[in-house]
Structure 1
């Protein structure tokens, strides 16, 4: 009997222990479930936040991609405009280079023509100056027939002409020297005039006087005429050259 009680008590104790264990297990499972729910809710919130953040980042990425596309399109357009600008600049440079070359050629041609005109003007001025130097010679020659028997005055007269001729045409100075060398013929002429027999002289005396005209005078006259011819020929040649230079 005692053994039976002991067995019953043991069974009861075991049952109580098992019930306590089961109750403890149930309470522990409930607590674990609550913690799991909290953790799951927290993770769900974290996932939601991450999804929202991911959506925001995706939106930013899409916006950035759109910006990249716009920038790429803008870059391509800029490249096209730059290429067109470079082509226009190249064409403009070519045009300017051609125009500059044409201007250089025109300037060179104008400079050449200007040099020719200046040289021509200098030549004309020189020719006019030379021709003008004949004027005082011609004026001086107007008095050749008025030369008298004064030897010094006559020689000085021709020396003055020689100086003028040397400036006009040096090649003519020998012709003036020829006149000076024959100037005694002029004085012989005046001596011959002084031997005129008079109006009452006989015809024979007058004829003899006429035939006694000194040959030296003819040589003087020929020398003067030769000089004048050479002077006029030279002047005509210079005037012709001047007309050619002007025309």
Structure 2
């Protein structure tokens, strides 16, 4: 009986140790599982953060691309304004040549001069159409009023001579062609509209610059 009690005690002790070992292993596994779960949660947070950052980066990149495309469009339009500017910079050249010839008494053909003046403004209109078609009606107004220049030249040619009376001079001054003022006003209106358009494009370029 003593021997059986001893064996039973040994078995109980062994069983107790086994249970304790199993509990320790369970606790270790539970701790490792919790650590693994925390690692997975941290990894998920990192993935979500990277996903958001990637999405933000894609959004910023797309926004930058849109701005670059807009800027390119504005620059291309401004480049088309250069020929117009170059042409209008010499807008008085033909008239100055005509007045010089008139002063030297070499003026002969008003019809030919009118054709040259119309041709010049038609060239301006062609360049304007490439830059901003909305401005072409303004050039048309100039073209339609070039006869005012012819009227002005004719008026100058009809100026009284040195021996003219005061009444003749007054009469001549009263015949000053308003059509010439209309031509000049149309030219100035076109120039104003053109410069406003260019200024608008420059402001647009500043606004869309990356």
2:51 matches 1:88 = no
TM-score under structure 2 length normalisation:
0.72
CA distance in 1, matches of 2:162, 2:18: 133
**Alignment partner, residue 130 of structure 1:** 77
Could you say what secondary structure the match of 1:144 adopts? coil
Structure 2 segments unaligned to the other structure (5+ residues) = 1-6, 96-109
2:148 matches 1:196 = no
2:113 matches 1:166 = no
Q: Residue deviations 1:159-201, cap 9 Å, x none?
A: 2211222233222111111111111212222222333334554
User: Structure 1 residues 193, 83: CA separation in 2 closer, same or farther (over 3 Å shift)?
Assistant: same
**Alignment partner, residue 219 of structure 1:** 182
**Alignment partner, residue 180 of structure 1:** 143
CA distance in 2, matches of 1:171, 1:158: 16
Structure number with greater CO (CA < 8 Å, separation at least 6) is: 2
- Equivalent position to 2:91, from 123, 140, 144: 144
CA distance in 1, matches of 2:130, 2:151: 31
TM-score under structure 1 length normalisation:
0.62
Task: Give the superposition deviation at 1:153.
Answer: 2.2
**Alignment partner, residue 120 of structure 1:** 67
The CA RMSD over aligned residues, in Å, is 3.0
Task: Give the superposition deviation at 1:78.
Answer: 4.9
User: Structure 1 residues 173, 72: CA separation in 2 closer, same or farther (over 3 Å shift)?
Assistant: same
CA distance in 2, matches of 1:146, 1:157: 10
CA distance in 1, matches of 2:18, 2:114: 114
Structure 1 segments unaligned to the other structure (5+ residues) = 1-57
Task: Give the superposition deviation at 1:129.
Answer: 2.6
State how 1:1-247 maps to structure 2 within 5 Å. 78-148=25-95, 150-199=113-162, 201-246=164-209
Task: Give the superposition deviation at 1:125.
Answer: 2.4
Q: Residue deviations 1:107-143, cap 9 Å, x none?
A: 1112112212221222222223323333322221121
User: Structure 1 residues 115, 165: CA separation in 2 closer, same or farther (over 3 Å shift)?
Assistant: same
